[in-house]
Structure 1
C-alpha cells in the first residue's frame, strides 16, 4: 500500500474506534433506539439525493438493513446503555468475524480452515472469561446484547455476500446510505413502542451540545467519512490487504475509553481481551502465515 493509503486506513481506524465514545456520550441524554434512528436520519439526508441506489434488489436491501442497521446497532446501543463499557464493546463486537464464518458455513457451504478453528477457540475462550467477569461497569445483559449485535452483523455480512453475487462493483457508501433509509421507519416505530413518546420529549429537553456533537460524529464521521474512505481503500486494494486495519479498531476503542471516559479493565477482562485479539489476528491473518511458510520452504 502507498503511504497515503496507509494513513487513510489509520484515520478510519481512529474514527471507528472513537465511535464507541460517541455512542456512550449520546446515550447519556438520548434513548438507544431513538439515537440509532436519528443517526441514520442525519446520515441519509440530504446525501441520499446524490447517491444512486445500489444494484441489488429491494428485498436484499431490506434484509441487509434489518440485520445490520436495525438488529446490530439497536442491540449494541441498548447493550451499552444497560451495562457494557465502550472499550469492551468495541472488542466484543468484533466477534462478528466468527459469526460471519459460522453462518457462512451453515448457509453458503463455506469451508473451515485451520486458522478459523484456532481463532474461534482463542476468541471463544476470551469471550468466556470476559462474560464471567460480571459486576462493576459491565452487566450480563450488556454483554449478552453486544454478543447478539455481533451475531446480527455476521448475518448481515453473509446476506451481503449472497446479495452481491454476480453484481458489478459499486460504491460502498451508496449501499450504507440506502440501507440507512430503509432502517429509519422500523427504528422509529420500535423506539415509539419500546421507549415511548415521553422519552422523545425528555430527550428533546435534556439533550445538550455533547449529545448533539455525538450524534453528528456518529452520522458524519463514523458513517459518511469512515465508510467513504474505507470504500476507497477497497476499490484500490484486495479485501485481504485492507481488512487487517479493522483489527486496530478495538485497540483504539479500549485505549480511548480508558483515557476519555475513565473506564477500567480488570485483570481477567484484560486476559480475555488479549485472547480475543489474538484470536482475531489468527482468524484474519493465519492463512497468510501458512502460505508464507510454504513459500519459504520452497525457496530454501
Structure 2
C-alpha cells in the first residue's frame, strides 16, 4: 500500500478514534436519542449526492435498523448514562468477535481455528474489562455498549445475508430509518417537551459535535475508507481499525483525564488481540509460504 494511502487510513482511524470523546462532549444538554436523530438527519443531507446501494430499499433499511439506529442509539445512551468514551471505543470493537459468532450461527460460515481462538480471547478480554471497569462505570452503561457492538455485528451479518453492498451509500441511505423512529422513541422516554426544548436549544458545542460525527466521521471517513477498499485488498485495509481503541483511549486520557484501571488495560489488550486474530487470521491462512534462506551458520531466516 502506498504511503499516501497508509496516511489516509491512519487519518480515518484518528477521526474515528476521537469520535467517542466528541460525542460525549456533544451529549451535554441533549437526550441521547435526540442527538442520534440530529446526527443522521445531517447525514441525510448527502442523500441526493450519494448513489443508493444496489439492493431493494427494504433491505437497506433492515440493515440500517441494526447498523445505524440500533448501534448508535445504544452507544449514545451508554455514553449518556456514564460509559467513559475511551472505554467505549474499546468495548465497541467486540463487534468483530460477535460478527464471527453470529455468522457461524446464522449463515453457517465456518470460522478458521485462528478466528475461533480470537473469539475466545475476545470474550475473555471483555469479561476482564467488565470485572475491572471500576466503580465509576455503571454496569448498565457497559451492557448498553456491548449491546451496541452486538447491534453493529448483526448489521454486518445482515449485509452478507441480504447481499447489500456496504460503504458510504449504505451509511447515507440507511440513515432514512433513524431520525423519525428515534425522535418518536425519545418522546416516549424523555417526553415531548424535553425533545422540543432540546431541538430548539442546541448549543454551539452540540452543533460542532454533530458536524464532526456526521460530516467527518460518517461522510468523509467512509468516503476515504471506501476508496481504499476499492484500490486495495480488504485484508490490507481492515487491520487499520485496530488503531481505533488506542486513539480513543489516548484522546479520552488527554481530554478528560480518563485513566483505565490495570484490569481494563489487561482486558483491553486481550480483546484487541482477539479482534486481531479474527481480522488477520484469514490473511495469515492464505499467505503463501515465505522463502527460506540458509545463512552461513546454518540457521534459517524467513524473509
TM-score tier after normalising by the smaller chain length: over 0.9
Deviation at 1:235, TM superposition (A): 0.8
State the partner residue of 2:205.
210
2 CA distance for matches of 1:183 and 1:220?
Answer: 16
Structure 1 residues without counterparts, runs of 5 or longer: none
Quick check: 1:93 aligned with 2:88? Answer: no
Alpha carbons of 1:290 and 1:235: their partners in 2 closer, same or farther (altered >3 Å)? closer
Q: Kindly provide the CA deviation profile for residues 28-81 of structure 1, in whole angstroms up to 9, marking residues without a partner as x.
A: 121110011000011111x11122321111221121111111111111111111
Q: How does 1:147-296 map to 2 (within 5 A)?
A: 147-164=146-163, 172-204=167-199, 207-292=202-287, 294-296=289-291
2 CA distance for matches of 1:277 and 1:189?
Answer: 36
- Greater Cα offset, 34-43 or 59-68: 59-68
State the partner residue of 2:297.
none
2 CA distance for matches of 1:250 and 1:23?
Answer: 15
Q: Kindly provide the CA deviation profile for residues 92-130 of structure 1, in whole angstroms up to 9, marking residues without a partner as x.
A: 101111111111111111012111121112111111111
Q: Is the 8 A contact 1:65 1:179 kept in 2?
A: yes
Going by fraction, where is helix more abundant, 1 or 2?
1
Deviation at 1:200, TM superposition (A): 2.1
State the partner residue of 1:32.
32
- Greater Cα offset, 103-112 or 32-41: 103-112
Rg bigger for which structure? 2
- Greater Cα offset, 275-284 or 205-214: 205-214
Q: Kindly provide the CA deviation profile for residues 117-164 of structure 1, in whole angstroms up to 9, marking residues without a partner as x.
A: 211121111111111235443111010011111111001001111222
2 CA distance for matches of 1:290 and 1:298?
Answer: 22
Q: Is the 8 A contact 2:133 2:263 kept in 1?
A: no
Alpha carbons of 1:142 and 1:6: their partners in 2 closer, same or farther (altered >3 Å)? same
- Greater Cα offset, 244-253 or 204-213: 204-213
2 CA distance for matches of 1:204 and 1:33?
Answer: 12
Helix, strand or coil at the partner of 2:53: coil
Aligned residues: 295
2 CA distance for matches of 1:104 and 1:283?
Answer: 12
State the partner residue of 1:19.
19
Q: Is the 8 A contact 1:85 1:137 kept in 2?
A: no
Helix, strand or coil at the partner of 1:110: coil
- Greater Cα offset, 142-151 or 259-268: 259-268
TM-score, normalised to structure 1, is 0.92
TM-score, normalised to structure 2, is 0.91
Q: Kindly provide the CA deviation profile for residues 188-229 of structure 1, in whole angstroms up to 9, marking residues without a partner as x.
A: 211222122222244246542222211111111111101111
2 CA distance for matches of 1:154 and 1:280?
Answer: 13
**RMSD of aligned C-alpha atoms?**
2.0
